[in-house]
């Protein structure tokens, strides 16, 4: 498989800049029983027990590059809220720019106050800094971004909660669109070399935290509408596999204990060519760049077992009702699309009438874990209980023992799409993080779902 040219020079840059951290001693006789690996369709710990996740996304990839909500509630209080619902998994989202800033500062991380003023302006940045420090004893204006991560992860470990660093964007901002510059490899804000460097840095950082047992490659890859002049950006399966394999290498060579989650095409909705072993040059793909000479080339098949991280890879998929190409109008068609697009790797039976989706719904060639790492809807009674997609996903995960993480925990954002102090009705918490957007939903909907998923 030919990698893109931008990948090749990464190793030299990384070698000159990453400061190695000592590996923390991880006892295999206590939770989380590391390292985790895969066995067929399951994630397993070092004792051979199956590990299932039920979790949330905690956004931290906005312009401040510090997890949301800490000005309203302490890290302790937020972790306590997460634990009280029963969640055992946090997708902690971040931007590669968080690591880029360290390289720009000759290895020095960005202090809290600097991060807030840069993103919010002097007046509001100073105000929010003071609020965060007041609510988080032990932090001060000079506490750095990764020191805040350290503290959050340690507190999560006390509650036996896994933390999964989830890279959402290159340049810190709200995600995602075709025009935000973060869509595809070498897009305006997606420097592939810096992305690989960032993965290595976070994989190295994870060595100090036994409950960081996994990390992602990239969130919601999609066609870029920015770089359109020939040759443009080649958006297809072959380019995906070349770059994502390089990302897996970067993580695994740095920290071989970590699981690696690999997302699909079209906003992480499609892994079909990879799970079915289809020729990457000719496999169906929404809006993909055609491989004109595919008929004259030898087939290109992705074979996970050829890689040293074969027992560390976990597929991840997302699905939202605003999908451009997938019908989410009935549960039957949702199930068909989920199976075709990657959940076939769990070895489950194809749903009835699966050909209605316009494909053969082929079985997977290899059993591999698949998680549903993002989905969501408004948190109110009329929507939560009546949304077709939301409730179909709930049924599907429970019927097939699928790990999941909902979007999101945040009821408000410091910055979102240019606005400051933006509320989010899809978030579990209320605006000031003191309670819930929809308390009855927590008790009657989310807690039972978590309990059924985890068997508790």
Domains of the chain: 5-14+31-454 (3.20.20.80)
What confidence score (pLDDT) does residue 29 get? 83
Residue with tokens 């870029």: 224
Q: Which residues contact 421 (CB under 8 A, 6 or more apart)?
A: 412, 413, 414
Sign of CA dihedral 120, 126, 128, 132: positive
What confidence score (pLDDT) does residue 213 get? 98
Give the side-chain half-sphere CA count within 13 A for 8: 4
Q: Are 76 and 157 in contact (CB under 8 A)?
A: no
What confidence score (pLDDT) does residue 357 get? 53
Residue with tokens 């066995």: 39
Per-residue pLDDT of the chain (456 residues; tens, 9 = 90+): 433 333 333 333 333 333 333 344 444 789 999 999 999 999 999 999 999 999 999 999 999 999 999 999 999 999 999 999 999 999 999 999 999 999 999 999 999 999 999 999 999 999 999 999 999 999 999 999 999 999 999 999 999 999 999 999 999 999 999 999 999 999 999 999 999 999 999 999 999 999 999 999 999 999 999 987 767 799 999 999 999 999 999 999 999 999 999 999 999 999 999 999 999 999 999 999 999 999 999 999 999 999 999 999 999 999 999 999 999 999 999 999 999 999 999 999 999 888 765 557 899 999 999 999 999 999 999 999 999 999 999 999 999 999 999 999 999 999 999 999 999 999 999 999 999 999 999 999 999 999 999 997
| pTM for the predicted model, two decimal places | 0.93
Of 27, 108, 160, 87, nearest to 447 by C-alpha is 87
- DSSP string covering 84-150: HHT--EEEEEEETHHHHHHHHTTTPPPBHHHHHHHHH-HHHHHHHHHHHHHHSTT--TT-BHHHHHH
227 Cα distance to chain centroid:
25
**What is the C-alpha to C-alpha distance for residues 340 and 355, in angstroms, rounded to an integer?**
9
Element (H, E) at 305: none
**What is the C-alpha to C-alpha distance for residues 158 and 41, in angstroms, rounded to an integer?**
28
């Amino acid at each position: 498989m030919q990698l893109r040219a931008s990948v090749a020079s990464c190793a030299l840059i990384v070698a000159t800049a990453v400061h190695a951290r000592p590996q923390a001693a991880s006892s295999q006789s206590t939770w989380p029983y590391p390292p985790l690996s895969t066995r067929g369709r399951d994630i397993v710990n070092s004792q051979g027990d199956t590990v299932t996740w039920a979790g949330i996304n905690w956004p931290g990839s906005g312009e401040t590059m510090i997890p949301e909500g800490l000005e309203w509630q302490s890290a302790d209080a937020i972790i306590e809220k997460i634990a009280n619902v029963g969640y055992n998994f946090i997708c902690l989202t971040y931007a590669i720019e968080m690591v880029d800033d360290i390289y720009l500062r000759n290895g020095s991380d960005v202090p809290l106050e600097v991060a807030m003023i840069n993103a919010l302006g002097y007046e509001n940045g100073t105000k929010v800094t003071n609020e965060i420090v007041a609510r988080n004893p032990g932090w001060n204006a000079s506490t750095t971004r990764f020191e805040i991560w350290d503290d959050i992860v340690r507190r999560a470990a006390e509650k036996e909660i896994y933390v999964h660093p989830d890279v959402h964007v290159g340049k810190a901002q709200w995600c995602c669109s075709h025009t935000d510059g973060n869509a595809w490899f070498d897009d305006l804000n997606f420097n592939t070399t810096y992305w690989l460097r960032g993965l290595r840095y976070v994989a190295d950082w994870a060595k100090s935290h036994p409950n960081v047992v996994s990390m992602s490659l990239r969130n919601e890859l999609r066609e870029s509408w920015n770089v359109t002049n020939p040759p443009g950006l080649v958006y297809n399966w072959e380019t995906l596999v070349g770059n994502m394999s390089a990302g897996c290498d970067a993580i695994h060579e740095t920290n071989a204990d970590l699981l690696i989650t690999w997302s699909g095409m079209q906003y992480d909705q499609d892994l079909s060519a990879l799970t079915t072993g289809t020729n990457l040059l000719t496999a169906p793909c929404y809006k993909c760049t055609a491989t004109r000479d595919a008929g004259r080339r030898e087939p290109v098949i992705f074979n996970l077992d050829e890689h040293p991280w074969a027992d560390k890879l976990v597929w991840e998929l997302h699905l939202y009702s605003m999908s451009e190409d997938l019908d989410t109008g009935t549960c039957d068609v949702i199930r068909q699309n989920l199976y075709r697009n990657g959940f076939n790797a769990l070895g489950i039976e194809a749903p009835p009438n699966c050909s209605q989706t316009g494909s053969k719904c082929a079985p997977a060639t290899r059993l591999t874990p698949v998680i549903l790492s993002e989905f969501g809807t408004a948190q109110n009674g009329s929507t939560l209980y009546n949304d077709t997609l939301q409730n179909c996903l709930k049924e599907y995960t429970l019927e097939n023992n699928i790990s999941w993480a909902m979007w999101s925990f945040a009821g408000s954002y410091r910055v979102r799409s240019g606005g400051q102090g933006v509320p989010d009705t899809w978030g579990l918490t209320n605006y000031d993080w003191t309670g819930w957007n929809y308390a009855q939903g927590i008790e009657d909907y989310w807690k039972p779902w978590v309990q059924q998923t985890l068997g508790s």
